[in-house]
Amino acid sequence: MILKVVKYPEPVLTQPGEKVTEFNDELRQFVADMFETMYSSQGIGLAAQQVGVAKRVTVIDLSQGKDPAQKLALINPEIVTSSGRQYEEEGCLSFPDIREKIVRAAKVHIRAQNEKGEWFEMDGEELLARAFQHEFDHLDGILFTQRMSPLKRSMCLRKIRKLQAEGNW
Ligand SMILES: [Zn+2]
């Protein structure tokens, strides 16, 4: 089922997610719905807050459904270590048409639980490292605008207000 993606400034987007403790069919259905929603929006990552649920669940697939090996469901994820620096353009399904360069770590090592509750660890570099950091931020209620410089953030928020005033947001 395709879920509704909420846009900034929906309050749930700034709400830290609750830890998932039950790995049941309901959770697995929610994860499946999140993948379906992400693919239908041509995204490479989606956090539960973006579909109105403040829980620590996120899905990532850099291949956008083309390569099953890249399909990642991450429950209660955390960054274990990070290193380096990258400065690339980033977007967010909750901020349509907004793209801005954001500083992120170049490499991260993460741990998370899968849909069955099993812990796993993995490394991410470049775009995958960026996706991990962007999505895990969502789970803490942190939006990519908060990672921008104050000047760029105010430019973005002004653009959004203009779009809202025109009825295009
Ligand atoms: Zn996002």
Indicate the pTM of the whole model.
0.97
Q: What are the residues whose beta carbon lies below 5 Å from ligand 1 (ion)? A: 92
Q: How far is the CA of 165 from the centre of ligand 1 (A)?
A: 23
Q: What is the pLDDT of residues 34-86, one digit of tens each?
A: 999 999 999 999 999 999 999 999 999 999 999 999 999 999 999 999 999 99
User: Is the CB of residue 137 less than 8 Å from the CB of residue 82?
Assistant: no
Q: How far is the CA of 94 from the centre of ligand 1 (A)?
A: 6
Q: How far is the CA of 143 from the centre of ligand 1 (A)?
A: 7
- Whether 121 is catalytic: no
User: Is the CB of residue 162 less than 8 Å from the CB of residue 98?
Assistant: no
Q: How far is the CA of 86 from the centre of ligand 1 (A)?
A: 17
d(CA 125, CA 71): 16
Above pLDDT 70, what percent of the chain? 100
User: Looking at residue 120, what is its pLDDT?
Assistant: 98
Q: What is the pLDDT of residues 75-92, one digit of tens each?
A: 999 999 999 999 999 999
Catalytic residue among 90, 100, 115, 135: 135
> Using 50, 70 and 90 to split pLDDT, how confident is the model at 156?
very high
9 upstream amide cis, omega within 30 of 0: yes
Segment 1-29 mean pLDDT: 98
15 HSE (CA, 13 A, CB side): 17
21 HSE (CA, 13 A, CB side): 1
Q: How far is the CA of 68 from the centre of ligand 1 (A)?
A: 22
Q: Which domains does the chain have, with CATH numbers?
A: 11-165 (3.90.45.10)
Q: How far is CA 91 from CA 41, 42, 110, 111, 131, in A?
A: 12, 12, 21, 24, 10
Q: How far is the CA of 46 from the centre of ligand 1 (A)?
A: 6
